[in-house]
């Protein structure tokens, strides 16, 4: 069964700084997703990564996937307060139409 | 277009009562998921429907929980004899088929049903 671990669980960072959230998974996964959740809200899809070496960027966020290392990263560049939210990664087992397993989430707080 | 719709948005019930939660997926989406999220926690998988295949019920925490889906439309999650530990936000999500890969598209989440068992 696929297990997904994120770290850190909580991240407090200053505006303007860079940081990376890590998502490790336990078995081969051919699809990796990143979601954002604002307090009291539902989850919003950010990125879909479907192949080794895939890199997607949207604004100050960039996600990448290394299937050999079973690692995905979400890099934040020059953080702004609006990025404060909880970020989840999720993966599915390779070659199956199986359920997505979510990580525990990283709560990001961007301070002035 | 319309997103995933869940009802009710909030439900307060007494311990021991049964509750039924409803999810209307996006039209044409073949996959439908139910997840549970306790306060400040991650998402706990409950059940997954994919087209006409047998549902993956491996996440249902006890036999008090059941879910049904009619074809590729509405799904209902039923919790019988509710307990206080059932209090959580129940999230429904759906995804569509993309080309030959029916399972690669991202999930679209509803706003959830906040269940409080008193």
| Residue B104 C-alpha, separation from nearest chain A C-alpha, in angstroms | 7
Q: Which of B14, B38, B47, B61 is nearest to B112 (CA)?
A: B38
| Nearest CB to A48; choose among B59, B106, B110 | B106
pLDDT higher than threshold 90 for residue B20 = yes
Is 3.30.420.40 the CATH classification of the domain at A4-111? no
Host domain of residue B48: 5-97
Tally of domains in chain B: 1
CB–CB contact A97 B43 (8 Å)? no
Chain A residues with CB inside 8 Å of B31's CB? 97
Distance between CA atoms of residues B46 and B69, nearest Å: 14
Neighbour tally for B58: CB within 10 Å: 12
Read off the CATH number of the domain in which B23 is found.
2.60.40.10
Mean pLDDT over B59-83 rounds to 94
Residue pair B109/B94 in contact by the 8 Å Cβ criterion: no
Distance between CA atoms of residues A6 and A12, nearest Å: 15
Q: What is the largest CA-CA distance in chain B?
A: 47
Mean pLDDT over A74-95 rounds to 91
CB–CB contact B111 A102 (8 Å)? no
| Domain residue limits, chain A | 4-111
Residues 18-37 of B with CB under 8 A from A: 31, 33, 35
**Residue B109 domain-assigned?**
no
Distance between CA atoms of residues B43 and B27, nearest Å: 24
Mean pLDDT over A28-32 rounds to 79
Distance between CA atoms of residues B92 and B22, nearest Å: 9
pLDDT higher than threshold 80 for residue B98 = no
Of B24-28, B66-70, B93-97, B112-116, the one with minimum mean pLDDT is B93-97
Confidence at residue B50, expressed as pLDDT on a 0 to 100 scale:
84
């Amino acid at each position: 069964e696929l297990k997904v671990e994120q770290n850190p669980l909580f991240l407090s960072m200053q505006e303007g700084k860079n940081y990376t959230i890590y998502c490790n998974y336990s078995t081969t996964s051919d699809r990796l997703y990143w979601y954002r959740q604002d307090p009291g809200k539902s989850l919003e899809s950010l990125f879909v990564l479907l192949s080794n070496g895939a890199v997607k960027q949207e604004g100050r966020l960039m996600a990448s996937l290394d299937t050999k290392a079973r690692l995905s990263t979400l890099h934040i560049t020059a953080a702004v307060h609006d990025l404060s939210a909880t970020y989840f990664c999720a993966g599915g087992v390779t070659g199956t139409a199986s359920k997505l397993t979510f990580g525990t989430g990283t709560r990001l707080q961007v301070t002035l | 277009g319309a997103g995933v719709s869940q009802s009710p948005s909030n439900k307060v019930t007494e311990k021991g009562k049964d509750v039924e939660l409803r999810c209307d997926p996006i039209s044409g989406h073949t996959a439908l998921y139910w997840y549970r999220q306790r306060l400040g926690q991650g998402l706990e998988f409950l059940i997954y429907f994919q087209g006409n295949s047998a549902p993956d019920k491996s996440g249902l925490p006890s036999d008090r929980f059941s879910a049904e889906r009619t074809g590729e439309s509405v799904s209902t999650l039923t919790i019988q004899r509710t307990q206080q530990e059932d209090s959580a936000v129940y999230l429904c999500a759906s995804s569509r088929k993309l080309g030959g890969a029916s399972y690669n598209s991202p999930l679209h989440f509803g706003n959830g049903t906040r269940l409080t068992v008193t």
